[in-house]
Each structure stands twice: as structure tokens, then as C-alpha cells.
Amino acid sequence: MTLSQAIVLAAVQGLTEFLPISSTAHLILVPWVFGWQDPGLTYDIVLHAGTLLAVFVYFTRTWWTLLSALVLRTRDLFSSRRPQGGGAVERNLTLLRVLVVATVPAALAGYFLEHYAETTLRSPALIAGMLIGVAALMWAVDRRVTLTRTMETVGFTDALVIGVAQAVSIIPGTSRSGITIAAAMGRDVTRESAARFSFLLATPIIAGATLKKGFEIWGHGLPPGLTATHVVVGFVVSAIVGFAAIAFLVRYLQVRTLKIFVIYRLIVGAVILLIELLGRPG
């Protein structure tokens, strides 16, 4: 893998991890279209670590507030003191519980179906189908006129719906952010709040996947063709681009719809099917 290829893949990961267009699909399709060699699991972990840093930095204040509420309530329980913080602490604890519930389905799917998803489910035709199918779902919920709920109103039923949707994103081409945002909007959550909840939900999932894969290759060293320069550049580029993608989408959905992403997914899905029909380039 050349340095330019490493930079392109890192930028693709950072951009598509958070925009609702499927990072897995693009990381499979970019090498497929250009005939590049698969950079391997190690580089994939590097890129995910970069996007993990991006989402954690962007939501540092939110996570600090949520975890502070947990520490405060735990301290009150062990000291038998009267609960401190009032309604604000309880609202933060509820959001934290909801995030935990919504994480469970994807964690189970990743544990039991990861190998299947990384082998059987990586065909370009299936990726194209998921790009188009989820685009249709995004288009349907984007037309709703009842998107009035904020992230703070997301309850446990909502969490289960969004969590199951996130579990489906193990199929390449789905887009974790795309399907979770669509699921939240299907529960009448505003576009911006749906994006924020989706990104908060991404933190434990990306962290878990990164740690799991990291332990799998622990002690093996860098594989042939992957250098320390690739690792550093890939991590930095994916983190910077990922942070920019989060900031862009949150601001964008304050005033815009998902239409541009629906159109993009439909075009990419159609192009993939056309390439499959005519034969792979080269």
C-alpha cells in the first residue's frame, strides 16, 4: 500500500463513518474499483481508532456530563445520602441507560455474526442492494412532518428500535449512522437530535470493535507493506476528517433534509450494479 492510498482510505473512513453513506461499503468498494490490494485488518483498526477519537472529542462534554451523573448517583447510593443534582442528574442517567439498551443488539450481532458479515455478506451486489434499500428508508422517514422530539425524550422503546436498526448495520452497505438516524426519525425524533443520538451510540460500538480487533492482532507487529508512517498518517487523517464530518452533519441537519444522501446512495448503488453487470474494471 502506498502512502497516497493510505491517505485516501483514511479520508474515506473518516468521512463515511459518520455520514449516512456506509463506511464499510466504501472501504470495500474503493480498493475494488481501483484494483488496490486490501490493506488488511491492522490498518482497519488504525482507521477505526482515528474515528473513535473524533467522536469522543466532539462529544467529550456530553460524555463527561453523563458519566458525572453516574458517579454522583453511585456515590449517593453508597453513602446513603439524599440524591444530589435533582432532575438534571436523573435525565442524564436516563439517557445513559437508553444508550446502554440501544447498544446491546449491535453488540450481540457483532459477537455472533462478525465473521459471517466479513465473508459471505461482502459481495458488491449485496452492498448495492443495501445502499439502495436504506436510501428508500431514509427517504420515507425524511418526509415525516412530526419530527418534533429531542434526544432527551428518547425512551427505552425507542432505544430498542434504534438498537435493532444498528444491529442490521453489520451488513456492508447499510451505514450505521444512516439506519440509526432513520430509525430515530421514524420515532419522530428531529434530524439533528437523531444524528446526535446516533453519534453518541457510535462511541461504545466503535470502541468495542476497535478493542476486539486490536486484541486479535496484539503482538503480531505490523504486517508486510504497512509501515509506522502509514499508521500515524492514517490515524491522524481519519480522526480529523471524522471530526469534520460529525460537525458538518450535525449543523447540516439543523436546516436541511437527508435528500442529498438519499440521492448519493441511489447513484452509488446503481453504479455498482452496472459495474457488476458489465464486469469489473480492469
Query: What is the pLDDT, as a whole number, of residue 65?
Result: 94
250 half-sphere exposure, CB direction, 13 A CA radius: 16
pLDDT tens for residues 51-77? 999 999 999 999 999 999 898 888 877
The H helix count followed by the E strand count for the chain is 11, 0
81 pLDDT band, cuts 50/70/90, is low
Closest CA to 198 of 137, 257, 154: 154
Task: Assign 149 to helix, strand or coil.
Answer: strand
Q: Name which of 46-55, 108-117, 137-146, 151-160 the model is least confident about.
A: 108-117
Domain ranges of the chain: 3-278
pLDDT tens for residues 105-132? 999 998 888 777 767 777 888 999 999 9
Question: Does the pLDDT value for residue 280 go beyond 70?
Answer: no
Query: What is the pLDDT, as a whole number, of residue 277?
Result: 84
Mean pLDDT, residues 5-33 taken together: 90
Q: Which residue has the higher pLDDT, 111 or 5?
A: 5
- DSSP lists the bridge partners of residue 149 as 189
pTM value?
0.91
Instruction: Calculate helix-pair angle for 41-58, 23-34, nearest 10 degrees.
Output: 140
Q: What's the CA dihedral at 260, 242, 153, 146 to 10 degrees?
A: 0
Q: Which residue has the higher pLDDT, 271 or 135?
A: 135
- DSSP lists the bridge partners of residue 189 as 149
pLDDT tens for residues 194-249? 999 999 999 999 998 888 777 777 777 777 888 889 999 999 999 999 999 999 99
